[in-house]
A and B are shown apart, each in its own frame.
Chain A
Amino acid sequence: MSDIAIELRGIDKSFGLVHANKNINLTVRKGTIHGIIGENGAGKSTLMSILYGFYQADSGDILVGGNRVTIKDPNAAISSGIGMVHQHFMLVENFTVLENVMLGAEDSQILNTSISKARVELKRLEKEYALEVNPDALIEELPVGLQQRVEILKALYRKADILILDEPTGVLTPPEADHLFRILGQLKDQGKTIIFITHKLREIMAITDEVSVMRRGEMVATRKTKDTSVEELAELMVGRRVLLRVDKGEANPGAVKLAVENLTVRDSRGVTMVDNVSFTLRAGEIVGIAGVAGNGQSELLEAISGIRRAVSGTVLLNGKPIDVTGHADPGDLRNRGLAHVPEDRHHVGLVLKFDEAENGILGYHNDKRYLNGVFLDTKAIQADAEEKIRKYDIRPPNPRLKTANFSGGNQQKIVLAREMERGPDVLIIGQPTRGVDVGAIEFIHKRIIEMRDQGKAVLLVSVELDEIRALSDRIIVMFAGRVVGEREPDATEGELGLLMAGVEGRKEAAE
């Protein structure tokens, strides 16, 4: 009996010209939690997809428990005892927990008998691993934390000994993430092997036994977690030294630039997403809005930037009202000094089929400097793009390249350059570093602080609590569409986490 759960030897995989995995070797010991860390696009997910049979490696061997196996589809992975919890849950939302758990593992053609068997088995698993969930609840009615639990149960139901978790904490509140870590610890104690993929260094340090670092398709190092440090891992990931802490001085808040009063916004289904929210934003300060995704931050940003109509409330920009309940026009707001970096750069921030130079003027294409009579002044646009590329270190430095071909971090820099360079009074930024690698994060954070120091008012929305805490001068926490608290940036993560989960906020509101 070997103590090796999984061994990968020389795994190689290309998608066309992209060499996603280069000669990867990896050894995962039985009964351990093995972290795999790397920037976006480092090849972590591709490697795991190969292990789970989603893709075939071009070459290389997979050994499970010391035996060479061919994993040609997920079915083969499942029968080798490998289970996977995907980043985007693979659940059927209008099915019950029970139906989801047994889907694909039903043991007869007629459902009734499978259902009763599955119910018994699920009860046993729940008890054994303390993973309680109502088997008859519909998935769409469960909070994400519980949905993730169903994914874990699915794998255990299929008798997985090796669990792969792909970026499992991205959708969780801090308390939910802590709970997940406890569950993983229990699973480990029961002898399961866990492969934990993330780009968050803190999580790696918190729960893994060993960690492997990937960079640009290569496995660059494997360390025992207790023998390494956050700084070393960050350096291995990026390939150079990275400043993890953001250096910033005291804020010098000035006049109120943006005043939001009693703003209420509903979504297309008529559900109230922003509920009577009020706050102010001053020149020279960064206000961070913390909250778990889906608690109204997106709708708040959209309403202020004129993309979504609000139901009621007022917003003053430089003391003058914005017609948020009527015909607020994003173009007009831009001219009044409000710039907006949308949360979703692929669908809102950029036209991916346009080249870099075109995206660089999007929304500002009526500015005189880009026009030559009624025509676009292509020379000026080109020169403008080249300057932004230089200033924001956008790579590759080619204004003619289609935006879709830039990496996430560079795409984000294109948007930031466009919105920041026009010198707005108020900058609204949603998820500035989502899908952006560590090196670019550092750069983006520096630029945001610079904007503040130039006396701009910055409203920052992010689901990354670390980012909010690092950048903000004041933190507003939203839960279920309401502002449930305001804190100084030195508030502890635990305190903010409870607010974000709606626990503390309720108490406060009751008092």
Chain B
Amino acid sequence: MEFFDTIVAILESTIRVSVPLIFAALAGLFTERAGVFDIGLEGKMLGAAFAAGAVAAVTGSVLMGLLAAILISVLLSLVHGYASITQRGSQIVSGVAINFIVAGSTVILGEAWFRQGGRTPALDADARFQTVTFPFADAVKDVPIFGPIYSNLLSGHFILTYVAFLLVPFSWWVLYRTRFGLRLRAVGENPGAVDTAGISVIWLRYRAVICCGILCGFAGAYLSLAMSAGFVKGMTAGKGYIALAALIFAKWRPVNIMMACLLFGFLDALAIRLQGNPLPFIGQVPVQLMQALPYILTVILLAGFIGKAVPPKAGGVPYVKER
């Protein structure tokens, strides 16, 4: 039974660490499917986490924190959009620049405003997201097998966790079952087709970028208002890049993205659990190796096992009317 509990505990923390990855990877899905590559997921998430932590600390309202996160993240997205859509700049350079600016400025602003070494003040319970307990969760806790799964694995997460998982089918529906989704996918493949069909390529791509900003806002808010009680400098710790890896790994498809994020989350959870515990036969595994696993896995799997990940054809290329 102890082994079973361990599994449930690992899966429970898998879900917990997967959530920001799912938000961020879905964010990347919207913008990259529209042909705007975004290496700046990391920076947007970090900026959002800071905004959420700072505003929630000052106002004491979790909702204000979330809104601030979304606002900042959308603004950063628009900067990326302006550079790469309107000015037709390099999407990689713009994304990297955003990552750097946010990494530096969150610390500077945090120190200037709160004087806690770049942190935002620890939040009260009211200023954080609360966990949701399903009905009868307490009552069935001790039922074997079902009990732990229902009470620990399914119940007791933050509301944003459920939002993240519901966003997966919702994103699929938007992309594959709405007019907006059809056009968005078209503009990522052949913007010329969209332009000649009488649809504005620029406005369509901006809308995709804004979707990305909103979702990154959720990812950031989750980090500082749910997972932790406030912002800590550099708290995204590369999650934006892992989300990007998950996006490629999932070949830019929503359900695959969820699976990939859960897999990477699982490796992360496993790494935490294994810290200090030797593996049978192998012995002590350096924690760094476990942390590097998602990347190693992406490279290996992409290199030979899951076939070629074909990015949206017009991805990374600014649209210029042919002359």
A105 and B177 contact, CB distance less than 8 A: no
CB 8 Å contact bits of A102-135 with B (1 = contact, 0 = none): 0111101111101000000000000000000000
Q: Which of A334-386 contact B (CB under 8 A)?
A: none
A92 and B179 contact, CB distance less than 8 A: no
CB of B187 to closest CB in A, whole Å: 9
Q: Does B157 contact A (CB under 8 A)?
A: no
Stretch at the interface among B135-143, B195-203, B238-246: B195-203
CB of B321 to closest CB in A, whole Å: 6
Given contacts A86-B196, A104-B199, contact A112 B190 (CB under 8 A): no
A103 and B178 contact, CB distance less than 8 A: no
Given the complex of chains A and B, what is the CA–CA distance between A114 and B180 in angstroms?
13
Stretch at the interface among A93-101, A402-410, A487-495: A93-101
CB of B55 to closest CB in A, whole Å: 33
Q: Which of B140-193 contact A (CB under 8 A)?
A: 176-183, 185-186, 189-190, 192-193
CB of A137 to closest CB in B, whole Å: 16
CB of A217 to closest CB in B, whole Å: 15
Q: Does A392 contact B (CB under 8 A)?
A: no
B193 and A84 contact, CB distance less than 8 A: no
Residues of A within 8 A of B198 (CB): 73-75, 77-78, 104
Place the interface of chain A in its size category.
20 to 34
CB of B182 to closest CB in A, whole Å: 6
Residues of B within 8 A of A73 (CB): 198
Among A74, A88, A104, A110, contact of B183 (Cβ-Cβ < 8 Å):
A104
CB 8 Å contact bits of B29-57 with A (1 = contact, 0 = none): 00000000000000000000000000000
Given contacts A109-B180, A110-B179, A112-B177, contact A103 B195 (CB under 8 A): no
A109 and B178 contact, CB distance less than 8 A: yes
Q: Does B313 contact A (CB under 8 A)?
A: yes
Given the complex of chains A and B, what is the CA–CA distance between A228 and B8 in angstroms?
85
CB of A268 to closest CB in B, whole Å: 11
CB 8 Å contact bits of A308-328 with B (1 = contact, 0 = none): 000000000000000000000
Q: Does B93 contact A (CB under 8 A)?
A: no
CB of A129 to closest CB in B, whole Å: 20
Residues of B within 8 A of A15 (CB): 323
Given the complex of chains A and B, what is the CA–CA distance between A104 and B191 in angstroms?
12
Among A54, A77, A106, contact of B182 (Cβ-Cβ < 8 Å):
A106
Q: Does A287 contact B (CB under 8 A)?
A: no
A90 and B321 contact, CB distance less than 8 A: no
Q: Does A283 contact B (CB under 8 A)?
A: no
Q: Does B63 contact A (CB under 8 A)?
A: no
Q: Does A91 contact B (CB under 8 A)?
A: yes
Given the complex of chains A and B, what is the CA–CA distance between A353 and B178 in angstroms?
45
Residues of B within 8 A of A110 (CB): 177-179
Q: Does B83 contact A (CB under 8 A)?
A: no
CB of B199 to closest CB in A, whole Å: 5
CB 8 Å contact bits of A466-491 with B (1 = contact, 0 = none): 00000000000000000000000000
A74 and B182 contact, CB distance less than 8 A: no
B183 and A90 contact, CB distance less than 8 A: no
- A105 to chain B: closest residue by CB: B197
B323 and A103 contact, CB distance less than 8 A: no
Given the complex of chains A and B, what is the CA–CA distance between A248 and B178 in angstroms?
62
Given the complex of chains A and B, what is the CA–CA distance between A103 and B193 in angstroms?
8
Residues of A within 8 A of B178 (CB): 109-111
CB of B88 to closest CB in A, whole Å: 17
CB 8 Å contact bits of B205-244 with A (1 = contact, 0 = none): 0000000000000000000000000000000000000000
CB of A170 to closest CB in B, whole Å: 15
Q: Does B302 contact A (CB under 8 A)?
A: no
CB 8 Å contact bits of A1-23 with B (1 = contact, 0 = none): 00000000000000100000000
Residues of B within 8 A of A54 (CB): 195-196, 321
Residues of A within 8 A of B182 (CB): 95, 99, 103, 106, 111
Hey, which bits of chain B sit against chain A, CB under 8 A? 176-183, 185-186, 189-190, 192-199, 313, 321-323
Known pairs A104-B197, A110-B177, A112-B177. 17 more at Cβ < 8 A? Answer: A54-B321, A74-B197, A75-B198, A77-B198, A90-B190, A90-B192, A93-B190, A94-B189, A95-B182, A103-B183, A103-B194, A104-B183, A104-B199, A109-B178, A111-B176, A111-B178, A111-B179
Hey, which bits of chain A sit against chain B, CB under 8 A? 15, 52, 54-55, 73-75, 77-78, 84, 86, 88, 90-95, 99-100, 103-106, 108-112, 114, 154
Can you list 20 A-B contacts with CB-CB less than 8 angstroms, sorted by A residue number? A15-B323, A73-B198, A74-B196, A75-B198, A86-B196, A88-B322, A90-B192, A90-B193, A91-B193, A92-B186, A92-B193, A93-B313, A95-B186, A95-B189, A104-B183, A104-B198, A104-B199, A110-B179, A111-B179, A112-B177
